[in-house]
Chains A and B, each alone.
Chain A
């Protein structure tokens, strides 16, 4: 029986132009490579542990969400919420973590001259991706599936129907992103491809961050529409199609459910078919084209802008080490795509806050007495500290990590000033513009004086956080370690888990604004505290980096002895 099934699968694969023998060995090796890549200098930074943490955190989060909702919502809306959440998360993870899995010209350098068809090669990439999708998709949906059986309109079959449908929805979501890669691959070169991907990711991050606001506001409308019987809007909402499929699976053969279920199957079939047919046929040549594409030529800055940049560097960074770090980190913040993706969406927050303010018919000014709690105004200043935590988590990693040999052979004498330069570059490139934008956005609703004082408080708080974060810096030069699959998602997830702690700051701000002098005093105090903490943090980061350099030296000596 098992042999017959395998033979059938092999026959099917061959019909699709996939060599099953090559597929199996390449897939095995690709997963082995993912699981073996580990940073020797930072324990725990490996794909398996990152995958496990991510699955665990997602599992706990969806369990909590399910516990809050399973007795409140009917099964259709319950499925809709969890399918929306899963599909968004999967699309986001594929966009942010698996770009290199699907489109890896480096991989093609190793395999391009071997007798492997484009389809086999593409199928391996897709299978590798599916492994992670199944793991994360299961973590996201296993508890909601189980708790659904005890919901308001309890149906014992629910877990058995919901779980496979949810995995199918995750597959749909991943395929949609893969096709997006395919479309981009066809029209642009590699440099532009990576840039375009970053902008798509930034837009998507923004959607994830603010989408829930829209969903919350739209939910009552959907419910109303649904009961009115006109639910055609769901036809443009993929999670709705799959929620319909769950209903059909449970035996609810209503016209709308059947329509959505049919639509979900049709669109999934279309996506898988389109992926396999159009994308995979020319896959290897697209990759080769990407590798061959010449780099984008950048226009040189005008002499005036060059002079201004030099003057700024001299003003802010006194020692050569500090200037070097300042210049390096500023350039990386402008050019490194991962940093851009993870940090730049924050600059969109002020715009989003204006939109929220308009939706809420004004933003409560904490300087003036009001019955409404100024939660949005307080949250705005916390965007800075959140950005600081992300920067701190991302700083050691870069796809250009190999170039960090430069720091190992160049005598960086004053590491304390070096780290001061790193932090100043971040403050100048991101935190300052962010709070200037926030000040400008708040001026739309408040007097400019209030708006910019509030923004200045946010800046000072971010400065404190920068000091605190670097007190815990693990050491190492910036961008000197290889980023590994899933580790960034884990870090981001852990950072988001810190969000509830920010509630304490809401209370602090509330107390500060109760007194007229409170904000002024706090501004001075925050800046002083920030200065002290940052001085200490520079010393600490320098010590940790020196310790890591010594460890690297020992490792190299050990290798020498070995060979």
Chain B
């Protein structure tokens, strides 16, 4: 196994007495694509925010590329790229201006930056919109800009939080293929998602988090074997839901239809 690129030990986050992330530990090797799954409120986004240096953990340590995130946050941040789930853009800027700002924050030389910005926008089909303000972009177009911004400085580790939100089928396929290529080139990818199907097809390993704790960690095949389930969706359901989903949906429908009567 190659050198660990992400090393998390006893990571904990507590908000006003509530444990959002409860002493989780894992190691991710260089070149791995790890799917990080969990139901709403499980602690996925909190984990990613701690791993990207946005939130300070209550307890525990994070090392990325051998550097301690708490001791050397700036050096770690130079090595990572992050696609957030929501927000993350100055909508009064154009895509061209926004990407230039991001590149300059990473001290990229102007010629390199110009070249990369134009190329990324061209690859994502945004070239003809690059001088329009981001506020006029659709959700998918904004997502493409966010992905471009995360890749602009050629990071060693990529954190993606629901990266396919709003992307059309073609762009989603492009991104999935891109992730596989990047992993093959030695980039480490931490992929947070609700879309189990995509995780099953894209990720080499899956971590499932529930109520702030890791409840499963392994390859998709290992998890299926362990839980004796046929699909990742069944594995996920077994590990994270206490009540019957069909029953819940039926009660909901009864409530809505009852209003008509």
Contacts and interface: CB of A to CB of B under 8 A. Distances in A.
B87 A293 contact: no
A10 to B, nearest CB: 14
A112 B105 CA distance: 12
Contact of B77 (A37, A113, A292): A113
B56 A288 contact: yes
Contacts of B49: 112, 288, 292
Contacts of A106: 87
Given A117-B74, A294-B18, A112 B54 contact: yes
Contacts of A294: 15-16, 18
Given A25-B105, A109-B87, A559 B136 contact: yes
A467 to B, nearest CB: 37
Contacts, number: 79
Contacts of B106: 114-115
Interface range on chain B (Cβ under 8 Å from partner): 20 to 34
A255 to B, nearest CB: 50
B105 A110 contact: no
A36 B91 CA distance: 10
A506 to B, nearest CB: 46
Nearest to B54: A112
A150 interface: no
B77 A293 contact: no
A37 B97 CA distance: 15
Interface in A87-141: 106, 108-117
A293 B46 CA distance: 12
B90 interface: yes
A559 B137 CA distance: 10
A561 to B, nearest CB: 12
Interface in B39-97: 46, 49, 52-56, 74-75, 77-78, 80, 82, 84, 87-90, 92-93, 97
A29 B93 contact: yes
A360 B52 CA distance: 63
Given A110-B87, A115-B74, A33 B92 contact: yes
B143 to A, nearest CB: 15
A29 B55 contact: no
Nearest to B18: A294
B107 A110 contact: no
Contacts of A25: 101, 104-105
A113 B93 contact: no
Chain A, interface size category, equals 20 to 34
Nearest to B46: A292
A108 B54 contact: yes
B238 interface: no
A32 interface: yes
A29 B82 CA distance: 21
Contacts of A33: 90, 92-93
Nearest to A106: B87
Contact of B15 (A37, A117, A293): A293
B89 to A, nearest CB: 7
B138 interface: yes
Interface string A177-201: 0000000000001000000000000
B87 A29 contact: no
Nearest to A37: B92
B101 A113 contact: no
Contacts of B54: 108-109, 112-113, 288
Interface of B: 15-16, 18, 46, 49, 52-56, 74-75, 77-78, 80, 82, 84, 87-90, 92-93, 97, 101-102, 104-107, 133, 136, 138, 159
Nearest 6 A/B pairs, CB to CB: A112-B54, A115-B77, A113-B52, A36-B92, A113-B82, A25-B104
Interface of A: 21-22, 25-26, 29, 32-33, 36-37, 106, 108-117, 189, 285, 288-289, 292-294, 559, 562-563
19 contacts: A22-B104, A25-B101, A25-B104, A37-B92, A106-B87, A108-B54, A109-B87, A109-B88, A110-B89, A113-B77, A117-B74, A288-B49, A288-B56, A289-B56, A292-B49, A293-B16, A294-B15, A294-B16, A563-B138
